[in-house]
């Protein structure tokens, strides 16, 4: 099958590569010519303009956008006039599902189909395959199935879910790694929540490991003053834990084994003190949108919210609030701020 | 009535002063001679040794300790041999109520009565009076009532609670500002929870004011890259709020008026940017103990826990956890950490 | 000064009453005729149609809307054609500040001025006065000042903020209880955050009191099985606290005294077990919008978020999430769900 | 090698079985005779008294306790007098690490060695192997290595961590699934934090799936009154998501794939509405102890704390706090509680 790919960053160019490995034809486009070279060597047709790009695609065209969410509308504005009725536009990036709902309506007025695909897998997807969460018309989903099947991991060596095996269910694509989740926006909605969960998982591991790292607090000297809570039982905190080894052992047989733990074990073995990081953690939109959706639904998400807010805090954004706390303490108790221990 | 006061820091010396203003006799002791001078000028008897201190008190003696929690046991070890059966020891500091339960048993074996008093009011207590939460034997509480009544604010100009006024309840001391809360430890238990609540209140104001302070985010320039979530609607965040004025207006007629808000309004008017603070916020033991008690009781305390943890975070203690987050993001997505905006 | 008031619910009719008490003229309107009777007896002009309402107001008219947020736009659609250039519309209800920004633009195109007023004070406002947070054009704010001053509490017996008194600042209205917070939307933005803070304060008290209520857990019998965490130290939880008395004593001299505490003490004295409540806690929009604004600003608000989510949870909205937890526990550990203790 | 196993519940009997499969000899004991039958058929020596149990073990004896934490001390009291110098007691259950520190000292005074082993794997461990986190003397750990190696999963088909493979590290047992974590208590400390993390992970999935389940809220009818926040954009919440399929697709190629997700997918496929669960979620001690350790260390754990507290809440323990919120709302706003939607 033929697919046009616009946007050849880390994700887009890996995906084109994986498609070609699985026997599909790719026409590719990026404003940066150099991004296309490697792909051209593997058989892709590179194009220097959107006009050329569109002209090389057979109708009905299938155009996959793999772009930063912020530029999708701009590219669409240029692309739509070049497309024809029954063509298909797929947004595989990290768009807000609100935008999918709006765009699908705009494209429909031109007779163009719109598909939103939440794509998970990161830089490992090239080899491991991508988990694809898909929204849009069911018929269009089926038409594009060969593309999705090639990008997805397939059954691989992942064990079949026991209850599913028992029922011989039949026609789900979920155990191939791609799924039609529902109408327009459904794909990015599910991907949004996926990322919200991801924040929670990441925070759980990192908080736990931080407790282990500080289990030596009873061995450290402490100041004894009214501003410092005394450690009641220093004898309980005399451990110097080897975090890379602990992360490794948890990978085997424990209840908390996961792919994120695999990555954590790798990072910790490489650099046990994580000295190459500062700990200022970015957040992309999905974690925020997840919490906002939960608020609209009145669904409690204390863990997902806390995970998001820890990131805000890691970037220093609690500073003014903390100064107010210090100011209050100074007001009512004459407490003088202490410098944190070095 | 006569009271002996050991520990003449900010709290102890103010309390002795307030007692004398209300006509009570004070014998005072502190290892730092200079702490006694001001009080002696107001009529207190200063003493240079515990022996002298005890000898000047009429039996049954009433000895009030106003000491850092960490030194109470040490002072008690010296004091107990000097005391007699039926004497009374009052711990008015911030002891852990577990220690009250233990100490009351130890003192009982000597025939000495123990009273734990949670004292709230801070440096304003001298004029405003102290809120006293008291644990121990009911009879001893009654014996000491004149002392408590003098330290407490009394009815003052605080309106009577409507439902209470309607029922003409009679004999409560709560509306005088002091209360027998229950057996040994009850006073410090109630004070512990009081402080846990205080953390929550302080955090609520400080988080809210931080939102107001950042309501100008739509006016600031933003970087547009994959590591920065774009602000979808900058037109909604164009406000430069005057925080001192807002804190002030909330003091009058609003649902959130409180004494802590009064103090916040004062601090903000003095220094609107709170430039004299760094925002490294200490926590004394009570906030921790409150959350631990809640965990023992299996009572959910998301707000009180969050308020405590914000303080830990303000002192940089999340740093390693945050580095793990950055390391994971680097592993799965090739994300490179960004420096926070200046 | 003359004011037209549309919407005579609990808030609107009290406010009209307070204005008349302070010598202002009120023209009032409500679709329910009976709402107007009491006010007419106090001197208000009742009107049975918007046309009549508008005709009785002198130009430039000042029309105050005190309506549920959901019907404001509908009423505005009918009202605007009846108004003239330079008239003023004030929205004193709980509108979302996004709507203020939009509406002010729409009204401006008709030459009509728009003012948003966040109003705090609840049913006590009639006597206590209302805290008014105001957004819009400065000149219009000044024109309406007599109205605001009458509705606000004024200086009353609330102590002047110390640092403010020291500086003899001059012309602030904040210490009268009303404030021009900024351009359109600023009033409701500040009120929104006010309510977000309110949720946090309320949660802090309620969590703390819940800890006190369960301090008798060591006196209760416990099942000993693998599904129940044993209480390690029952001797630490033997207290039967008298919550109405504790809430009362905290009102006097403590750091956590506040108006919300006054109300809590009243409710607890009336009904110590709060048996007349089920504990399903509604949330109006402001708490949600506060957290969403914080997310847009990337400001951490763990306390305000937790307070909001506790309300969602109180209404049973965590149920499906909890079932998933039970299902997981059953899967990995064969754990069978226990019924909660009666 | 020979091992004595006391406690033949779900975990203990599976572990004895796995040991025998790997060629080790087991002497087993349980007060319930029937627990021993199956094991005896597989070659274990069953014993009806502790005396008989001890007599069948060769010196130095290795005795593994797999008992509820609450009965360990009671069994130890009977066991110790029967043991000899240089014997080894292993606690493989879920003891609090504080108890390990105490017990190791007590046993040392008898010349007996103590080893604490945190065991993860649940009912799947029989086939999958157990992740073992071990505390105690290094030499004793090495002596028992054959036992640990048999219980642990070994390398199996779990990929080697990339950075570890690159460095050819050598002698770690972590990639076999067992690890000497440090001195006495270290094993249970690491297991405690493991479980704390587990709570966080479980909560992240369950909150996310709850958001998906309620993504149809725009299709439901809503009451419009002052106690219900209107849904501003019902068009954004029109999705009927198929949760079993979504959990399944996430297992393949996504960033959030994990063993807990595997179990969730299984449970959801079996019973998509989880109708067989009520959602009252127990917590064992480890989650509580994890948060308490974090508090002692002043390490922020918003996610782990929230996950613990959600469980408390699922059992109805927030009820009184929620009633206080309703009481406050009634006081200040005359709000009448609403019944939750059916």
Strands of the A88-91 sheet, one edge to the other? A45-47, A25-29, A2-6, A62-65, A88-91, A113-120, A131-135, A178-182
Q: By the 8 A CB rule, do C200 and B200 touch?
A: yes
Domains, chain A: 2-159+167-183 (3.40.50.720), 191-317 (1.10.1040.10)
Q: List, for residues B72-113, the tens digit of each pLDDT value.
A: 999 999 999 999 999 999 999 999 999 999 999 999 999 999
Q: List, for residues C112-135, the tens digit of each pLDDT value.
A: 999 999 999 888 899 999 999 999
The count of CB pairs under 8 A between chains A and D is: 370
- What is the structure's pLDDT at A168? 64
Q: Which tokens sit at C159? A: 């102590």
Residues of C in contact with A318 (CB under 8 A): 299-300
> Do C328 and D260 make contact, defined as CB atoms within 8 angstroms?
yes
d(CA A338, CA D286): 33
> Do D335 and C224 make contact, defined as CB atoms within 8 angstroms?
no
Chain C residue with CA closest to B101: the answer is C236
Mutate to test the interface with D, among B203, B285, B300, B303 (most CBs of D within 10 A): B300
Flag whether pLDDT at D104 surpasses 50: yes
Chain D residue with CA closest to C200: the answer is D325
Q: What pTM was computed for the model? A: 0.96
Say which residue the tokens 């033929």 belong to: A2
Of D295, D300, D318, the CB nearest to B313: D300
Flag whether pLDDT at A251 surpasses 80: yes
d(CA A253, CA D18): 14
Contacts of D276 (CB under 8 A, 6+ apart): none
Catalytic-role residue among A78, A85, A138, A191: A191
> Do B156 and C240 make contact, defined as CB atoms within 8 angstroms?
no
Q: By the 8 A CB rule, do D222 and A297 touch?
A: no
Taking alpha carbons only, the member of C3, B131, A119, C150 closest to residue D255 is A119
Q: Is C191 an annotated catalytic residue? A: yes
d(CA D10, CA C333): 9
Taking alpha carbons only, the member of B289, D245, C135 closest to residue A133 is D245
Using alpha carbons, list the distances in angstroms from residue B67 to B75, B141, D211: 9, 21, 51
Q: By the 8 A CB rule, do B271 and B257 touch?
A: no
Q: Provide residues of C within 8 Å CB-CB of chain A.
A: 255, 283, 288, 291-292, 295-302, 305-306, 308-310, 312-313, 315, 317-318, 321, 332
Q: How far is C279 from chain A (nearest CA, A)?
A: 16
- Is the peptide bond between B53 and the residue preceding it cis, with omega within 30 degrees of 0? no
Taking alpha carbons only, the member of D184, D101, D193, D177 closest to residue D145 is D177
Of C196, C204, C245, the CB nearest to B201: C204
Q: List, for residues B295-334, the tens digit of each pLDDT value.
A: 999 999 999 999 999 999 999 999 999 999 999 999 988 7
Residues of A in contact with C296 (CB under 8 A): 288
Taking alpha carbons only, the member of A160, A164, A174 closest to residue A132 is A174
- pLDDT tier at A228 (50, 70, 90 boundaries)? confident
Query: What residues does B90 pair with on adjacent strands?
Result: B64, B115
Q: How far apart are the first and last CA of chain D?
A: 60
- Residue B309: which H helix or E strand, with range? helix B302-314
> Do D283 and B300 make contact, defined as CB atoms within 8 angstroms?
no
Q: Which tokens sit at A270? A: 């490489």
Q: Is A245 an annotated catalytic residue? A: no
In this structure, the dihedral spanned by the alpha carbons of residues A90, A94, A95 and A97, taken in order and rounded to 10 degrees, is 90
Flag whether pLDDT at D257 surpasses 50: yes
Strand spans (E) along A196-270: none
Taking alpha carbons only, the member of A207, A78, C206 closest to residue D306 is A207
Residues of C in contact with A309 (CB under 8 A): 300-302, 305
Mutate to test the interface with D, among B161, B253, B301, B305 (most CBs of D within 10 A): B305
User: A: neighbours with 3+ CB pairs under 8 Å?
Assistant: B, C, D
> Do C252 and B185 make contact, defined as CB atoms within 8 angstroms?
no
Q: List, for residues B213-225, the tens digit of each pLDDT value.
A: 999 999 987 666 6
> Do B131 and C215 make contact, defined as CB atoms within 8 angstroms?
no
Could you tell me what percent of chain D has a pLDDT over 90?
84
- What is the structure's pLDDT at D167? 77
Mutate to test the interface with B, among D201, D233, D283, D300 (most CBs of B within 10 A): D300
The count of CB pairs under 8 A between chains A and C is: 61
Using alpha carbons, list the distances in angstroms from residue C225 to C229, C268, D14: 8, 36, 20
Of D295, D298, D321, the CB nearest to B292: D295
Residues of D in contact with A159 (CB under 8 A): 262
Of A209, A284, A339, the CB nearest to B280: A339
Q: In the 8-state DSSP scheme, what is residue C219? A: G
Other beta carbons within 10 angstroms of residue D30's beta carbon come to 22
Per-residue pLDDT of chain B (342 residues; tens, 9 = 90+): 999 999 999 899 999 999 999 999 999 999 988 889 989 999 999 999 999 999 999 999 999 999 998 899 999 999 999 999 999 999 999 999 999 999 999 999 999 999 999 999 888 899 999 999 999 999 999 999 999 999 999 998 888 898 888 876 556 899 999 999 999 999 999 999 999 999 999 999 999 999 999 999 999 876 666 667 788 899 999 999 999 999 999 999 999 999 999 999 999 999 999 999 999 999 989 999 999 999 999 999 999 999 999 999 999 999 999 999 999 999 988 777 766 544
D294: Cα separation from own chain's centroid? 18
Q: Given CA atoms A22, A26, A31, A33 in this order, what sign does their dihedral have?
A: positive
Count of residues making up chain A: 342
> Do B207 and C197 make contact, defined as CB atoms within 8 angstroms?
yes
> Do D207 and A303 make contact, defined as CB atoms within 8 angstroms?
yes
> Do B332 and D295 make contact, defined as CB atoms within 8 angstroms?
no
Q: How far is A60 from chain B (nearest CA, A)?
A: 32
Chain A residue with CA closest to D230: the answer is A296
> Do A203 and B325 make contact, defined as CB atoms within 8 angstroms?
yes
Chain C residue with CA closest to B171: the answer is C245
d(CA B263, CA B266): 5
Which pairs from D17-26 meet CB under 8 Å and 24+ separation?
Answer: D17/D42, D17/D126, D18/D125, D18/D126, D18/D129, D18/D130, D18/D150, D18/D151, D19/D147, D19/D150, D19/D151, D20/D44, D22/D150, D23/D150, D24/D146, D24/D147, D24/D150, D25/D1, D26/D2
- Secondary structure string (H, E, C) spanning D161-213: CHHHHHHCCCCCCHHHCEEEEECCCHHHHHHHHHHHHHHHHHHHHHHHHHHHH
User: C: neighbours with 3+ CB pairs under 8 Å?
Assistant: A, B, D
Flag whether pLDDT at D168 surpasses 70: no
What's the complex ipTM? 0.95
Crossing angle of helices B97-108/B186-213, nearest 10°?
Answer: 160
Residues of D in contact with A301 (CB under 8 A): 207, 210-211
Q: List, for residues C180-218, the tens digit of each pLDDT value.
A: 999 999 999 999 999 999 999 999 999 999 999 999 999
């Amino acid at each position: 099958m033929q697919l046009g790919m616009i946007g050849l960053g880390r994700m887009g160019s890996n995906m084109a590569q994986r498609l070609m490995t699985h026997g599909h034809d790719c026409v590719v486009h990026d404003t940066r010519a150099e991004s296309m070279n490697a792909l051209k060597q593997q058989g892709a047709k590179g194009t220097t303009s959107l006009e050329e790009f569109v002209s090389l695609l057979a109708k009905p065209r299938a155009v996959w956008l793999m772009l930063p969410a912020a530029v999708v509308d701009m590219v669409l504005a240029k692309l739509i006039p070049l497309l024809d009725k029954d063509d298909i536009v797929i947004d595989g990036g990290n768009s807000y599902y609100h935008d999918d709902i709006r765009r699908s309506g705009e494209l429909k007025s031109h007779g163009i189909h719109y598909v939103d695909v939440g794509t998970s897998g990161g830089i490992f997807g090239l080899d491991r395959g991508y988990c694809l969460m898909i929204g849009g018309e069911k018929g269009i989903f089926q038409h594009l199935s060969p593309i999705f099947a090639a990008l997805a991991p397939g059954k691989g060596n992942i064990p079949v879910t026991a209850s599913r095996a028992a029922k011989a269910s039949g026609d789900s694509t979920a155990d191939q790694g791609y799924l039609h989740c529902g109408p327009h926006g459904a794909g990015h909605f599910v991907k949004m929540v996926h990322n919200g969960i991801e924040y929670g998982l990441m925070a759980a591991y990192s908080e736990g490991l931080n407790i282990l790292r500080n289990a030596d607090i009873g061995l450290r000297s402490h100041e004894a003053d009214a501003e410092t809570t005394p450690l009641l039982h220093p004898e309980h905190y005399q451990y110097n834990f080897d975090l890379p080894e602990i992360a490794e052992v948890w990978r085997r047989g424990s209840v908390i084994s996961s792919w994120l733990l695999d990555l954590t074990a790798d990072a910790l073995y490489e650099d046990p003190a994580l000295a190459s990081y500062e700990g200022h953690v970015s957040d992309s939109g999905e974690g925020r949108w997840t919490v906002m959706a939960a608020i609209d639904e009145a669904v409690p998400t204390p863990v997902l919210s806390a995970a998001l807010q820890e990131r805000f805090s890691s970037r220093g954004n609690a500073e003014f609030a903390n100064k107010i706390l210090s100011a209050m303490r100074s007001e009512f108790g004459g407490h003088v701020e202490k410098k944190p221990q070095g």
